[in-house]
Amino acid sequence: TDFCGPPKTIPHAFLNLNKQYYVGQVLHFKCQSGYDKRHPTSGTRRCEKVNGKIIWTPLDMRCTNDSS
């Protein structure tokens, strides 16, 4: 089975981490309490094999406590 490495973390977001990430696995990120002022406040990344390379899909998510 093919595996992804650990995904990049997102500031002020939490994720239940496993030891191994396999192709097809989906990770769910969620902003920490108090850091959810901008949408989206949660998101997913998927481990995929693309053109022979194993990658994490991009995640467009920001967790901030900005009042602006």
pLDDT of residue 17: 67
59-to-1, 4, 42, 47, 68 alpha-carbon distances in Å: 24, 15, 9, 12, 22
- Write down the domain spans for the chain: 13-56
- pLDDT recorded at residue 68: 53
pLDDT of residue 67: 61
Q: For 4-62, write each residue's pLDDT tens digit.
A: 988 888 888 888 666 778 999 999 899 998 888 888 888 999 999 999 999 999 988 88
The structure's pTM equals 0.74
Q: How far is CA 10 from the centre of its chain?
A: 7
